[in-house]
């Protein structure tokens, strides 16, 4: 039986026997499983490559391989993208956000396997990024294409993409509640009963898949031993403030590095510059190799010297200030290493680097306080290491709830809820003030293409500008006489506004309203005397298609009280947008967005 016929039979059977809501529940379970399997494949491939290279080669041959491996890995990734995938593999979560905002939740089929082929090689060979972003992108692409296969509408597609993201995070971290919150917070999904149940089922399905393959293994196998004390609250407030400024540093470095690489138009040039840069950094600072969870675990159990054994300075690690200095250097260079990996064409995510830097930040702060002689009772270094991760996650990702629940679930540390909330809230608030958009949605936010929990903004973002532009207006030139205007425009057109366009430059000189002509259109003595240049007026506002977002367009209509506004593209006249069509499109999109099935 042909594939399309078989699928058609399934769709017919589903329509007769299962309601759409029930079918969405079934799909969410399937998508949770596929996202979980994607996480299993990505994680196992990456760790297998790391095991072969670090254990079998670096350990027994030469330290110089730390320099060679990242360059070799990035070169392989470049060749895979160019000759096998043949599409650009974008960063995981930003590409998913773009698909939701501007592609109606549709992700291209190659995105289902693009990250699987490239991310393990990037990270396994020493790229200083994480697996979370690629895992979410893989799961989201699977969710999107499964939704398309079963002819789900845009609202359901977006929900299933969120289910895939929740499933991916649940599988990686074994934190199902945090995974649901992540999908809601980062992807701006509406929290309703209709959306909550599919997210819950996807998260549950994914964690069961992870449990089946990995058992009880955890990324951060740690349990809270030191209780929170009220006397520690000022230090957690200070940690929140420090986390905010480290978040700003993280975001600023990442943004500037990406802009620098954007100026290198050649992919080969990016590969050479970024590859040599990351290779040199990893050679000089080996703990920057890969994701860095080994370093995090060493800090949590209070063994920082194990993470710094290979330092090129051969400093005495029994001296606590040497340890702090080395760790702070490691923290500052991690985001540079991650940015170089991305710039060179590597595929990965920034979730793990954020946890890495946050753990060092919290550990170093507690270490400095305990050895400063300012307090009599030492504060818990492991607790501050954990809360530091949450603080930086809240600031960098603009996802404080995800940060709180993730660290709590990862460590069983619900006893730390108060300091987690305190530090995360402060870090998020300060960072949000200076950096309105997170690393994930920075580019989309600047373009106004980001979906948010603001319903009005979400509707405007999802609207397609091109669909509300009308081009069937009769164009006049400045030299046309009143007689020509009446004969060629007024009589033949059913519009009440006429753009006046320069013949040579095709730029908009002005507009003529039918109301401007009513009092003189029957006075034949003026037919030869008056021209379009005499009758035209400047429009109250002009829409620039090259830079105006839908929110800007709506504001121009509101401020000008106009019913029609001209549109220019590449500095030339392009058409008009009418208020009636704009509001009709807005209403239609609002109905689609509010639909629960």
Structure tokens at 416: 């730390």
pLDDT value at residue 453: 47
For residues 49 and 126, what is the distance between their CA atoms, to the nearest angstrom? 10
The CATH fold of domain 230-453: Clc chloride channel (1.10.3080)
Structure tokens at 228: 């929170």
- Listed by start position, the domains of the chain span 3-214, 230-453, 458-594
pLDDT value at residue 533: 87
Structure-token match 């072969």, residue found: 52
Q: Which of 420, 373, 508, 65 is nearest to 232 (CA)?
A: 420
For 458-594, CATH gives 3.10.580.10
Whether 478 and 500 have beta carbons less than 8 Å apart is answered as: yes
Whether 129 and 337 have beta carbons less than 8 Å apart is answered as: no
Tell me whether residue 340 is exposed, middle or buried, using C-beta atoms within 10 angstroms of its C-beta: 0 to 12, 13 to 18, 19 or more.
buried
For residues 581 and 437, what is the distance between their CA atoms, to the nearest angstrom? 31
pLDDT value at residue 408: 86
pLDDT value at residue 174: 87
CA 592 to chain CA centroid, nearest Å: 23
CA angle 585, 188, 147 (to 5 degrees): 75
Give the bridge partners for 508, in sequence order.
501
Whether 499 and 566 have beta carbons less than 8 Å apart is answered as: yes
pTM of the model: 0.78
10 Å Cβ neighbour count for 318? 8
DSSP-derived secondary structure for 428-487: HHHHHHH-SS-TTTHHHHHHT----S-HHHHHHHHS-HHHHEE-----B-TT-BHHHHII
CATH top-level class for 3-214? mainly alpha
Four-residue CA torsion sign, 320, 322, 326, 329: positive
Whether 498 and 489 have beta carbons less than 8 Å apart is answered as: yes
Residues 6+ apart with CB under 8 A from 120: 42, 45, 46, 49
pLDDT value at residue 1: 47
Q: Kindly list the distances between the CA atom of residue 291 and the CA atoms of 85, 165, 286, 295, 335, in Å, as whole numbers in the listed order.
A: 24, 20, 12, 9, 12
Structure tokens at 347: 């595929």
Strands of the sheet with 572-578, listed across from one edge: 469-470, 572-578, 564-569, 543-544
pLDDT value at residue 596: 43
pLDDT value at residue 574: 87
10 Å Cβ neighbour count for 398? 24
For residues 496 and 567, what is the distance between their CA atoms, to the nearest angstrom? 16
Structure-token match 């007769």, residue found: 16
230-453 matches 3-214 in CATH topology: yes
For residues 240 and 211, what is the distance between their CA atoms, to the nearest angstrom? 34
Structure-token match 């993201």, residue found: 165
For the chain, what percentages of helix, strand and coil (3-state, to nearest 5) are there?
Answer: 65, 5, 30
Whether 219 and 367 have beta carbons less than 8 Å apart is answered as: no
Mapping DSSP to helix (H, G, I), strand (E, B) and coil, where does residue 545 land? Answer: coil
For 480: left if phi > 0, alpha if psi spans -120 to 50, otherwise beta; the answer is beta
The one-digit pLDDT tens for each residue of the chain (597 residues) are 455 677 777 777 777 778 778 888 999 999 999 989 988 899 899 988 888 887 666 555 556 677 888 899 999 999 999 889 888 877 667 777 777 766 777 888 888 888 899 999 999 998 899 888 888 888 888 888 888 888 787 778 888 888 988 998 999 888 899 999 988 888 766 666 667 889 999 999 999 998 888 776 777 767 777 788 888 899 999 999 999 999 999 999 998 998 899 888 888 999 999 999 998 998 888 888 888 888 888 888 888 888 787 666 677 777 888 889 989 999 999 999 999 999 998 998 888 999 999 999 999 999 999 988 788 888 988 899 999 999 999 999 988 999 999 988 887 657 788 999 999 999 999 999 998 888 877 665 554 555 544 455 555 566 677 778 888 888 888 888 888 888 888 888 888 888 999 887 888 888 888 887 888 888 888 888 888 888 888 988 888 887 887 778 888 888 888 888 899 888 888 888 888 888 877 777 666 655 544
């Amino acid at each position: 039986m042909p594939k399309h016929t078989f699928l058609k039979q399934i769709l017919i059977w589903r329509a007769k026997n299962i309601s759409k809501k029930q079918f969405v529940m079934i799909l969410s379970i399937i998508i949770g499983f596929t996202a979980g399997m994607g996480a299993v494949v990505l994680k196992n491939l990456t760790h297998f490559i790391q095991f072969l290279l670090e254990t079998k080669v670096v350990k027994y041959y030469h330290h110089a391989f730390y320099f060679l491996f990242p360059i070799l890995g990035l070169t392989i990734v470049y060749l895979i993208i160019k000759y096998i995938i043949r599409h650009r593999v974008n960063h995981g979560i930003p590409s998913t956000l773009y698909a939701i905002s501007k592609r109606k939740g549709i992700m291209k089929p190659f995105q289902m396997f693009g990250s699987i082929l490239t991310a393990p090689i990037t990270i396994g060979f020493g790229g200083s990024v994480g697996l979370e972003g690629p895992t979410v992108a893989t799961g989201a692409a699977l969710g999107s294409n499964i939704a398309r296969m079963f002819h789900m509408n845009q609202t359901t597609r977006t929900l299933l993409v969120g289910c895939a993201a929740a499933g991916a995070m649940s599988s990686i971290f074994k934190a199902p509640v945090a995974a649901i919150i992540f999908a809601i917070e980062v992807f701006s999904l509406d929290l309703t009963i209709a959306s909550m149940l599919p997210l819950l089922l996807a998260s549950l399905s994914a964690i069961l898949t992870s449990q089946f393959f990995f058992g009880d293994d955890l990324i951060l196998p740690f349990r809270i031993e030191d209780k929170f004390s009220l006397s520690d609250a000022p230090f957690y407030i200070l940690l929140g403030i420090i986390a905010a400024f480290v978040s700003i540093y993280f975001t600023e470095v990442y943004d500037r590095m990406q802009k620098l690489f954007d100026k290198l138009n050649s992919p080969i040039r990016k590969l050479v510059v970024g590859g040599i840069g990351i290779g040199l950094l990893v050679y000089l600072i080996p703990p920057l190799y890969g994701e860095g969870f080994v370093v995090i675990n060493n800090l949590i159990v209070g063994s920082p010297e194990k993470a710094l054994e290979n330092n090129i300075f051969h400093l005495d690690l029994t001296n606590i200030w040497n340890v702090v200095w080395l760790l702070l250097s490691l923290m500052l260079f991690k985001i540079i290493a991650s940015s170089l990996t991305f710039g060179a064409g590597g595929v990965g995510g920034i979730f793990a680097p954020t946890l890495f830097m946050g753990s060092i930040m919290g550990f170093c702060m507690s270490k400095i306080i305990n050895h400063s002689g300012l307090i009599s009772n030492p504060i818990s270094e492991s607790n501050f290491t954990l809360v530091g991760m949450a603080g930086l996650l809240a600031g960098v990702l603009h996802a404080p709830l995800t940060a709180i629940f993730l660290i709590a679930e990862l460590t069983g540390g619900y006893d730390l809820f108060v300091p987690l909330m305190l530090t995360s809230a402060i870090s998020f608030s300060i960072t949000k003030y200076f950096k309105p958009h997170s690393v994930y949605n920075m580019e989309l936010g600047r373009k106004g293409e980001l979906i948010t929990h603001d319903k009005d903004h979400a509707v405007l973002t999802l609207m397609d500008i091109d669909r509300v532009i009308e081009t069937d207006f009769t164009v006049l030139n400045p030299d046309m006489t009143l007689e020509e205007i009446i004969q060629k425009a007024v009589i033949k057109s059913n519009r009440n506004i006429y753009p006046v366009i320069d013949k040579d430059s095709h730029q908009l000189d002005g507009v003529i309203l039918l109301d401007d002509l009513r009092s003189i259109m029957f006075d034949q003595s003026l037919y030869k005397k008056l021209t379009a240049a005499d009758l035209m007026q400047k429009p109250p506002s002009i829409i620039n298609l090259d830079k105006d977002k839908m929110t800007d367009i709506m504001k121009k209509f509101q401020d000008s009280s106009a019913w029609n506004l001209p549109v220019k593209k590449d500095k030339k006249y392009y058409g008009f947008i009418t208020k009636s069509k704009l509001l009709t499109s807005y209403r239609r999109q609002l109905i689609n967005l509010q639909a629960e099935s």
